[in-house]
Amino acid sequence: MSTVEQQLDDLKAEITSELPSDISVSSVKYEGPELVVYTHDPKKFAQEGDLVRKLASKLRKRITVRPDPSVLSRPEEAREQIMDVIPDDAGVEDLDFHADTGEVVIEAAKPGMVIGRHGSTLREITKTVGWTPEVVRTPPIESSTVSNVRNFLKHERDERRDVLERVGRQIHREEMSDDEYVRITTLGCSREVGRAAFILSTPETRILIDCGDKPGAEGEVPYLHAPEALGAGPQTIDAVVLTHAHLDHSALIPLLFKYGYDGPIYCTEPTRDLMGLLTLDYLDVAAKEGRTPPYESEQVREAIKHCIPLEYGDVTDIAPDVKLTFHNAGHILGSAVSHFHIGDGLYNVAFSGDIHYEDTRLFNGAVNDFPRVETLVLESTYGGRNDYQTDQADSERNLTEVINETYERDGKVVIPAFAVGRSQEIMLVLEEAMREGDIPTMPVHLDGMIWEATAIHTTYPEYLRDDLRDRIFHDDENPFLAEQFNHIDGGEEERQDVVDGEPCIILSTSGMVTGGPIMSWLSHIGPDPDSTLTFVGYQAQGTLGRRIQNGWDEIPVSDIGRHDNSGGGRGTLSLNMNVETVDGFSGHADRAGLENFVKTMNPRPEKVLCVHGDERSVQDLSSALYHDYNMRTFAPKNLETFRFL
């Protein structure tokens, strides 16, 4: 008998002995990091309110209880009884019964009402029908991404369970090594921004953290073939951990499956959905620009199938000697500071991913409160000595000024913005400014993927800032549903109507004017001296956005045509519109934020690796942290390995 089988047998015996004698256990199984306990007596189990929690803390495992399929009531019968238990206001849309696992997935507009106080309604459901309920939210704004992902996972349910069972056995395998060390290898994003990828290794385990591309340098991918990484074969990687969905962290995750990786990806649920949206778009853009994409949509689906979503604060076994906990990073929806606890109290490493330390309109500030962290791997995007950002309130005032001036001229404000994060932040600023009368109420047109990304935000309000979350829970206060927001979904014709119409605000991708519908808006509105092109985000070297910022006002039409796929033409487009830059709307901590993140950690880490910043930024931040807080700091290059123990 294999050791995992033995372990499960022992667990079954131990659980049986802990339970009251009238509750029987039919089997126990690992599914990914969870221990699933099947019982003949699900109703009695649910009656003992605290039982699962007690078992979980006793066994130090995440535990799910499910009914043995032999004791299930018929779905038609259960459906009625469940609907009787759930309050009508919950807005139940769908009940989906899975007899093989005894689970019923309940989709509702107000999941909180299905869950009840401390899960009381969920327990009531099991007490009544025996099925194990699982709740998902109906997005307040319809999202094709969310429904595609859900339908796909439903369709792949059996195969996904096979994956989870295999991963579960991997996680709970017997440790083979007596040796002790912890190492980190940088595979990318060291002394550069982009292609984030690291290997965290112990004698037992190897974990890949992030796997991104480098924007504007398509050929430069992480050093995945290094012997530390996939060089020894894709199966030598135990797990992939994804901090957030931005392409410079996620773009090449699907590529791993083309290389033969078959293991889990740990991320939050919104990160999974956003990764699906952004990587599919990444393939689309590559095709439009005539590049051969490194993988196909089939691999994106594989990646989604292998995602194991975790919530902030869940302590999760991901290998025999590694526990992972995600914490809010304040950067984009679902972004996570990833904390690794290695061995039994042996060592702790935190990867910041990208962070924003202060609260923003969208998110609470990044969490930096851990029981222990010996080594911190810290992003340094704005780590340079002069990288201080404008105060949020000042930025917002600057933006409303630009809008008011343009409105008085009867012009239109065009804002290039990233679909994920910055757009929603600006939407919130505009909604409030209009509500409070700081700017006139006028239409705000959203073009490109912005609407879809917004819909995903409203699907996961738990991941948003407290007060914003509360407003979304009340439909009539959901700021994203304000009626001035208009989704451009009619293409060129609708754009022409907007161009011919009244003063308005247009938010459009891409954020750095490197393609997408913004090109079309420029060709329409660019010649109008009364309108204003307003940059609210970082414009990278080499992008059209940066060139316009630097004063370019004659744009080759071929440049625009190439990007909007109309083939382009001859001549130049005279950019007569005003060009303004409003700083301060960043998803990244500035220099002060990065220092504060480290300074207020308690206890502070012994070592800090400054990564994800250009040469100057990582050097500046590294030496400042060394001088100010007397810690050992490093500004590694790519392909360096550090041994910490």
Provide the annotated binding site.
244, 246, 248-249, 331, 354, 612
Helices (H), 259-372: 269-288, 297-305
Nearer to Zn ion, 195 or 246 (CB): 246
User: Dmax over Cα atoms in the chain, in whole Å?
Assistant: 85
Nearer to Zn ion, 279 or 348 (CB): 279
Length of the chain: 645
What's the token pair of residue 185?
Answer: 């290898």
Nearer to Zn ion, 363 or 407 (CB): 363
Does 192 participate in binding Zn ion (rule CB under 5 A)?
no
| Ordered DSSP codes for 511-565 | TTSSSSTHHHHHHHHTT-TTSEEEE-S---TTSHHHHHHTT--EEEHHHHHHHHT
Q: How far is the CB of 414 from Zn ion (least distance, A)?
A: 24
Q: How far is the CB of 480 from Zn ion (least distance, A)?
A: 21
Nearer to Zn ion, 347 or 357 (CB): 357
Separation CA 7–CA 320 (nearest Å): 13
Q: How far is the CB of 453 from Zn ion (least distance, A)?
A: 14
> Could you tell me how far CA 437 lies from the centroid of its own chain?
34
Nearer to Zn ion, 140 or 276 (CB): 276
Q: How far is the CB of 335 from Zn ion (least distance, A)?
A: 7
Residues 388-417, one symbol each (x = binds Zn ion by CB under 5 A, - = not), give ------------------------------
Q: How far is the CB of 417 from Zn ion (least distance, A)?
A: 14
Cβ neighbors of 493 (< 8 A, separation 6 or more) are none
Candidates 128-136, 349-357, 403-411, 554-562: pick the segment binding Zn ion (CB under 5 A).
349-357
Nearer to Zn ion, 245 or 319 (CB): 245
Q: How far is the CB of 377 from Zn ion (least distance, A)?
A: 14
Which residue from 428, 444, 441, 414 is spatially nearest to 480, judged by alpha carbons? 428
Residues that contact Zn ion, how many (by CB under 5 A): 2
Q: How far is the CB of 329 from Zn ion (least distance, A)?
A: 9
Q: How far is the CB of 368 from Zn ion (least distance, A)?
A: 17
State residue 450 phi and psi, 5-degree precision.
-60, -45
Nearer to Zn ion, 246 or 422 (CB): 246
Nearer to Zn ion, 354 or 590 (CB): 354
β 485-487/444-447 pair status: parallel
Give CA angle at 294 (293, 295), nearest 5°. Answer: 90
Nearer to Zn ion, 192 or 354 (CB): 354
Q: Taking each helix axis as running N to C, give the angle between helix 144-155 and helix 297-305, from 0 to 180 degrees, rounded to the nearest 10.
A: 70
Nearer to Zn ion, 134 or 220 (CB): 220
β 322-328/336-342 pair status: antiparallel
Cβ pair 463, 334 in contact under 8 A: yes
Q: How far is the CB of 244 from Zn ion (least distance, A)?
A: 6
Binding residues for Zn(2+): 244, 246, 248-249, 331, 354, 612
What's the token pair of residue 326?
Answer: 């995600």
What's the token pair of residue 500?
Answer: 């011919």
Site for Zn ion in 494-553 (CB under 5 A): none
Separation CA 136–CA 359 (nearest Å): 27
Q: How far is the CB of 593 from Zn ion (least distance, A)?
A: 14
Separation CA 398–CA 433 (nearest Å): 12
* 238, 354, 358, 620: residue in contact with Zn ion (rule CB under 5 A): 354
Candidates 62-70, 235-243, 320-328, 350-358: pick the segment binding Zn ion (CB under 5 A).
350-358
Nearer to Zn ion, 445 or 612 (CB): 612
H or E element at residue 107: strand 103-108
Q: How far is the CB of 379 from Zn ion (least distance, A)?
A: 8
b or e along 288-327 (b: 16 or more beta carbons within 10 Å of the residue's beta carbon)? eeeeebbbeeebbbbbbbbbbbbebeeebbbbbbbbbbbb
Q: How far is the CB of 354 from Zn ion (least distance, A)?
A: 4
Helices (H), 289-361: 297-305
Nearer to Zn ion, 189 or 399 (CB): 189
Nearer to Zn ion, 170 or 381 (CB): 381
Residues 246-265, one symbol each (x = binds Zn ion by CB under 5 A, - = not), give x-------------------
Site for Zn ion in 569-588 (CB under 5 A): none
The identity of residue 386, as a single letter, is N
Cβ neighbors of 423 (< 8 A, separation 6 or more) are 417, 446, 450, 453, 454, 507, 509
Separation CA 492–CA 307 (nearest Å): 37
| Ordered DSSP codes for 250-286 | HTTHHHHHHTT--S-EEE-HHHHHHHHHHHHHHHHHH
Residues 585-614, one symbol each (x = binds Zn ion by CB under 5 A, - = not), give ------------------------------
Burial class (CB in 10 A: 0-12, 13-18, 19+), 567: exposed
Give CA angle at 249 (244, 251), nearest 5°. Answer: 110
Residues 268-307, one symbol each (x = binds Zn ion by CB under 5 A, - = not), give ----------------------------------------
Residues 228-247, one symbol each (x = binds Zn ion by CB under 5 A, - = not), give ------------------x-
Q: How far is the CB of 382 from Zn ion (least distance, A)?
A: 12
Separation CA 36–CA 30 (nearest Å): 6
| Inter-CA distances, 604 with 348, 373, 376, 607, 622, Å | 12, 7, 9, 9, 15
Point out which residues bind Zn ion (CB under 5 A). Answer: 246, 354
